[in-house]
Amino acid sequence: MPAQKITIGVIGGAEASAENVQCAYDVGSYIAGNRAILVCGGLSGIMESASKGAFENDGYVVGFLPGSEKSDANPYVHLAVPTAMGVGRNILVVRAADALIAFPGSYGTLSEIALALDLGKTVVYMPGTWDLKKIAPVDSALFKEAFDARQAVGLALNALRTEE
């Protein structure tokens, strides 16, 4: 049986700064370049930028959509999964990802970070993202800060290699 591909979740806001849009695109590119599958919420902003980066670099993108229509997915999603679960789809994004890279976002992003950490999954967070260390003790082995796209993907992949 062939080995399962690594999946990296990219989470963040539907609205994002130009700098974060470019960084998310680069993250998607690096995910594709490392032959991992990108998992996201399938919509706009950070999700679309990361999806575009993977798509344009021969990667594969899975989007778990909050609504019931596949057509809601951004144009770079290969497999759109309409969940009709609203924010409940966040658990599907987290469960499907082996590790996650978090960009600034709202409460949906915060919930995904919390769910991932609760499940013992590594979350690499970019500047401006929810910094849970200011709220409560967080396992630094699971919650890592990155400052650029290459570092973020590298930290995620390294975390998965140490789990093997």
pLDDT tens digits, 51-89: 999 999 999 999 999 999 999 999 999 999 999 999 999
**Mean pLDDT across 20-44:** 98
User: Would you say 65 and 29 are in contact if contact means Cβ atoms under 8 Å apart?
Assistant: no
- C-alpha triplet 51, 54, 57: angle, nearest 5°: 145
**Mean pLDDT across 18-35:** 98
Mean pLDDT of the chain: 95
Which residues, listed in sequence order, are joined to residue 63 by a DSSP beta bridge? 40, 80
Question: Is the pLDDT score of 3 beyond 80?
Answer: no
What strand order describes the sheet that includes 143-145?
A: 79-82, 60-65, 37-40, 7-11, 99-102, 122-125, 143-145
- Map residue 100 onto helix, strand or coil: strand
The model scores a pTM over 0.75: yes
Dump pLDDT digits (tens) for 112-163: 999 999 999 999 999 999 888 888 888 889 999 999 999 999 999 999 987 6
* Phi–psi pair at 30, nearest 5 degrees: -70, -35
Of residues 6 and 131, more confidence is placed in 6
Closest to 102 measured CA to CA, from 116, 92, 88? 116
Domains contained in the chain, CATH given = 17-163 (3.40.50.450)
- Percentage, residues of the chain above pLDDT 70: 98
